[in-house]
Structure formats: structure tokens, C-alpha cells
Amino acid sequence: MNDLIQSIFGWVVESPFGQFVSAENLLLLTPEFLLLVVISVGLFQTMSDRLDDQKETWKLSVLGVFLALFSLVSIFLIVDPADGVSYLFMDSSTLMPSTLGLPVFYDMFRADLFSVTVRFFLLLGTLLVLLFSRRYIETRSSVPGEFYILMLGATLGAMLMAGANDLIMLFVALETLGISSFILAGYLRGEPKSTEASLKYLVFGGTATAVLLFGFSLLYGLSGGQTGFQEIVQGLQQANSSGLNFAVVSLMFIMILGGFAFKLSAAPFHMWTPDIYEGAPTPVTAFLSVVSKMGAFAMVIRFLFVVLSVAPAQEILMPLYMIFGVLALISMTLGNVAALKQTTIKRMLAYSTIAHVGYLFLGFLVMGVDSISSILFYLMTYVFMNLGAFAVAVQFTNETGRDDIAAYAGLVQKKPFLAFYMTFFLLSLAGIPITAGFFAKFFLFQTVAAAGSGYIWFVVIALLNSTISLYYYINVIRLMLVAEPSDTVIAMSRRVEFATALPVTLALMICFLGTLLLGVYADPLMALSRDAVSQLKVTDSQMLSQSK
């Protein structure tokens, strides 16, 4: 295998650029390089004036994401003992790479089990969005090809965020995702709401980025001018010997947390979310609520778990960790209460996203291996159940042009499968037993409650909020299954256009099976989540001790 790798990448390694890379670097980032190739080829394809060439970009994008998924699984889960390649080692019980952290590009990126797991679900989420977005975009835009290329660019940024181990890499990845998302939100140029969504996203996003960068600059100064996460820890250790200023450290933490909270749509930094989710094309809304959120959470987990949980500043920051509890309570309560009043599916799911972010923030309040692994498992399940709900919304909009909840009344009489899928996904989002959403909340709430009696009331409030969410989820279900058909549903055709409905149907089946299987067989994936987070914690602690 090594001979094959050298023959493929040899011209790069032997070039002047080769001093910055190695065959291992190129191999471990194969999924990202594949996306870059697809983006480059797709850009040339979108220059064509022919609409057919524009539409072919969708096939290229789907193929590229599928190959990236295949390469990611192949690199890390295929054992080849004959070659003795240590980073291809797969333990029979934990599926954990054998080397510590697998540093890439001077340790600016970590190809560990945590980043592999997150990148897999990021690619899977992107593939699902591509499957159900084709008809929606091609019937509303004269240049659909650019849409898919921008989505791949945003995915690339999210994947780099998942393994970023350096402030510079983190910021570049964050902006790659952010700028692509700004453009995607306003992709429907003829719709005022889409243009407004893009402008608001740009303004709010730029402000949040400035705040985040200011916090990073304080961290950079406190650590003695370091950007790598491990070097920052060492720099903070040295600074701690002369005493860290509580005011400066607190300001740094609050500014960084504020920037992260904006990216995650946590209240009270959520003001951009409902308007942008409503104005953006529905596939973009799905992408932002799932793929973008998962990349952002992965970034926050690595940063907090590696830098601040092992840094000497932890003793100073521990009281400030209660801020996560406050943000969690505000987010889940505001999100669920506001969702009760919404009249469109997209705004309802937008506030639902804010509520789910509130649940996830409870894991940061505890900040342990079990709680962080519960967050990771929750994000995995969220990919399937939330994208499934959006896939139904996209298909309904494709056939009716409507997005308001009232239009779904009596859907079961004309489109029973759509009504069934939406019912199942909404029940999972509400946390009904048997579904993946139930176990996601169960594991998370259980770890928070086990942290001590002082955390019990957080769980109680979270359970009350889950009860509130049942109302607006079941209201949609009631309309679809019980209410008399709306004029929109009556006008729908029973005939199915298989050529255009097939990708959406495939996406719905994958989401359904994922939501069902993760509910029935939750333990294996929870164990994988725990292994990934444990490696993240142990790896950095070991490397820190080795560097002393």
C-alpha cells in the first residue's frame, strides 16, 4: 500500500511544496482533497451556459461526497497488517487508531477518532441534503450548479473545523464554512426574504467573528504568542507561575464563548436564526441546522476539552462554566416557547434547533468524558431525525409551493408516506421512546444528573421543556393525520414522478433507518462516541506530559 501511496502522491512530495507535506498528510486528508478536486472541476463546469451542464454538477457533487465518505472509512477502518502502517490499525473492540492524535500539517489538524467520526457524519449529512435539494434548487435557480459547489465548500470548512488543533486553522475553517453559508442563504436572488437572510447572516456573522477573534487574541497573549492548542496549554502553565489575571481570563472566556454561542444559535445570541432559516432556501436551512451545527459543536468540544479543561486557567474558569447552564436554560425555554406560536415549518424547526442547542449545552456544564460523548451521540442522531423532517418539508414545498403548517392538514389522505415519515421524525425530535431522539436525551440527561445533586434541577427544567415541545410537534402530526384536508392537499396529485422523487425518497429512507436503528441499537454508537472523546482527552493529556 505504501508503494501505491508514493506513486500517487510522489510528484507532490518531491516538489518544492513537499517540504510542507508528507504521504501521511495527504493520505489522512484524502476526503478533503477529494472535495477540493470536485469543487475545482465543478467550478469549470458551472462556467458553461448550458443548463444541462449546470445540472450535471449535482451528479458530480453526489459522487464526490460519496467517494469522500468511502475514502474516510477505508483509511481508518481497513486493516493492512502486511504493510505495517500503524495509523491503519483497528482495535477489534474500540475501532480506535493506534497512534496519538495523528497530527497533520505540523499538528494544525488532528486526524483522531473524534474528527473521523464527526467528519463521517458531516459528509453523510451533506449527501442527504444534496439528495433532497436537487429539484428544489433546479426549479428556482437558473444557475443550480454553483449551489452544489458552495455546499461542498461549506462542508470542507466544517470538516476542517472538526479536527482543527490550532487557532489559525480553526479560524480559516470557520470562515470557509461561514462565507459559503452567507452566499447559500441568499442563493434565491429573486426572493427578497432570501436576500434579507443573506445580509443579516453576513452582518451578524461578521460581528460574532470579530468578538471571537478578540477573545482569541487575548488567549494568544496569555499563552505567550502560541496558536497550537498544546502549545497554548504549555504557555498558560508558564503564565500561571506568575499568576493569571482573573479579569483578563474571564473576559477572554466570555468573548470566546459569545462567539461560539452565536455560531451554535444559543440564546440570547439566537436573534439571527429564525429570520435566516425562514428566508434561506429550505435545503440551506437544513444544512445550517444540522451539518453546520455539528461542525461548530465539534470545534467547541475540541477547544474547550483540550485547551481549557487541562489548562491551569481551569481553576479560575470553573465558576464561569455555570454560564453554560444559564445559556442552556434560556435556549431551551425560549426555543420551545417561541416554537409554539410559529405558523411555518421552517420557523418552527428553527426555534426547535435553538431548544436542542439548549439541551446540548447541559453537557458542557458538566464537562466530562461521559457528558461530551453524550453530546456527540446526540449530534449523530440529530443528523437523521432533523434532516428527515426537512426532507419531507422540501418535498411538500416542491409539490405545493407552500411552507405554512396549516397547509399540511389532511396530508395522510394524499401522501401517506410523507405523513408517516414526518410523524416519525417529529416524534423522535420530541424524544418519544424507541426513537433515536429518546436515547439521545436519555444519555445526556442521565450524565448531567449523575454529576451531582446540584445539577438535578437543570435536568428537571430540561424535561419540562421536552414536554412543552410535544405540543408543537404533535400539533403538526394532528393536522396531518386527523384534520380535514386543506385546499393545498386537495389540489395535490397522487401521481409520483419517480425520476425527481427518487433522490428524496432515498434520503428519507436513510434518515428513517438511521433514526430507527440508533434507537434500537443505541449502545454501539454510544460506545464509539465515548471512545472518540476518551481518545481526545487522553491523547492531549499524554502529549502534554511527554512535552514536559
Q: pLDDT tens, position by position, for the chain (548 residues)?
A: 445 444 545 555 555 545 555 545 667 788 898 999 999 888 888 776 666 666 788 889 999 999 999 888 877 665 333 343 333 334 433 343 444 456 677 778 888 888 889 999 999 999 999 999 888 888 887 777 888 999 999 999 999 999 888 899 999 999 999 999 999 988 887 788 888 888 888 888 888 899 999 999 988 888 888 888 888 888 877 776 666 677 787 788 888 888 888 888 888 888 888 888 888 888 999 999 999 999 999 999 988 877 765 545 455 566 667 888 889 999 999 999 999 988 899 999 999 999 999 999 998 888 788 889 999 999 999 999 999 999 999 988 888 888 889 989 988 888 888 999 999 999 999 988 888 989 999 999 999 998 888 889 999 999 999 999 999 999 999 999 988 888 888 887 776 665 567 888 899 999 999 999 988 888 888 888 888 888 776 444 444 444 44
Closest CA to 432 of 462, 461, 469: 469
Do residues 445 and 431 lie in contact, with contact meaning Cβ atoms separated by under 8 Å? no
Q: Name, in order, each residue with C-beta under 8 angstroms of 395's C-beta and a sequence gap of 6 or more.
A: 132, 418, 501, 504, 508
- d(CA 89, CA 323) in angstroms, rounded, equals 40
Domain that holds residue 131: 2-547
Task: Please state, in angstroms and rounded to a whole number, the distance separating the CA atoms of residues 205 and 200.
Answer: 8
Q: Round to whole Å and give the CA distance between 485 and 480.
A: 8
Count of the separate structural domains present in the chain: 1
Secondary structure (3-state) at 188: coil
Residue 143 C-alpha cell reads as: 444557475
Which residues, in sequence order, are bridge partners of residue 431? none
Q: Residues for the chain: how many in total? A: 548
Closest CA relative to residue 515, chosen from 128, 108, 10? 128
The three cell numbers of residue 515 are 433514526
CA dist 215 and 209 (Å) reads 10
The span from the CA of 465 to the CA of 349, in Å, is 15
Backbone φ and ψ for 110, nearest 5 degrees, come out as -110, 125
**How many Å apart are CA 147 and CA 151, to the nearest integer?**
6
292 close to 353: Cβ distance less than 8 angstroms:
no
Q: Which three cell numbers stand for residue 16?
A: 518544492
Location of C-alpha cell 425555554: 333
Q: Per DSSP, which regions of 70-214 are E strands?
A: 103-104, 109-110
Q: What is the pTM of this model?
A: 0.89
Q: List residues bridging with 344 in a β-sheet.
A: 404
Cell of 411: 396530508
Rounded CA-CA distance 95/534 in Å is 13
Q: How far is CA 480 from each of CA 84, 467, 470, rounded to the nearest angstrom?
A: 57, 21, 15
